[in-house]
Amino acid sequence: MTPVSPAQPIFSGSILSVTELLDRVFAPAPEEDLIIGIGNSLRSDDGIGPLVADRLMAFPRLRVENIALRPEACIDLLTGCRPRQVVIFDAADFSGAPGELRLIDRARLPGHALTSHRLPLAPMLEWIEFEYATPCHCLGIQPASLHLGEQLTPQVSRTADLIVAWFADWFRQSSSG
């Protein structure tokens, strides 16, 4: 999980719905992006990133990786592909409502704080943007529980369902249009 100083939604003064946020981040085509899930599946809601990544792998046109507790692994992934952007799904404590999804401003990510990741996200994302000229975004989901256990809480599980449903709708619309 990524601790975050109190975050404000980047795109507007109000909190965006999951659909509105995903529409903005993934426009015009998510299949041009590299989507990464990060987190610890053995700590309840911290497993949201890996769960979302695993479920999005069902869409063959998406480039998705579950790197669990190894965010530095995305550096290796970029060696073989040049995505339009990198989008990371991770549990993030920004003092929101459980299950709330926010685009986290990288300036609010701790650069050297202790997290469940070996390498803090902020310096890694900065390095990727510098080295590969690829924009990076972190979509944080507010956890309700980080206790030991493989089950997500209902609020966070609902957000995972909404994320996967957004991609299913996007592919359905792109195939029919």
Domain range for 145 is: 2-176
What integer pLDDT is reported at residue 114 of this predicted model? 41
Q: β-strands 101-104, 136-141: how paired?
A: antiparallel
Structure-token match 């401003």, residue found:
105
What integer pLDDT is reported at residue 62 of this predicted model? 92
Question: How many Å apart are CA 53 and CA 56, to the nearest integer?
Answer: 5
Mean pLDDT computed over 126-135? 86
Q: Would you put residue 68 in left (φ > 0), alpha (ψ -120 to 50) or beta?
A: left
Question: How many Å apart are CA 11 and CA 66, to the nearest integer?
Answer: 27
Q: What is the per-residue pLDDT across 146-169, written as a single tens digit (0 to 9) for each?
A: 999 999 999 999 999 999 999 999
Question: How many Å apart are CA 66 and CA 131, to the nearest integer?
Answer: 22
pTM: 0.85
Measuring CA to CA, how many Å separate 160 from each of 66, 125, 156? 14, 23, 6
| Token pair in block for residue 82 | 């040049």
Q: What CATH code is carried by the domain that includes residue 55?
A: 3.40.50.1450
Residue 169 carries which side chain, given as an amino acid letter? D
Domain count along the chain: 1
Question: How many Å apart are CA 169 and CA 15, to the nearest integer?
Answer: 22
Residue 88 carries which side chain, given as an amino acid letter? I
pLDDT band at 112 (very low <50, low <70, confident <90, very high): very low
Q: What is the per-residue pLDDT across 82-97, written as a single tens digit (0 to 9) for each?
A: 889 999 999 999 889 9
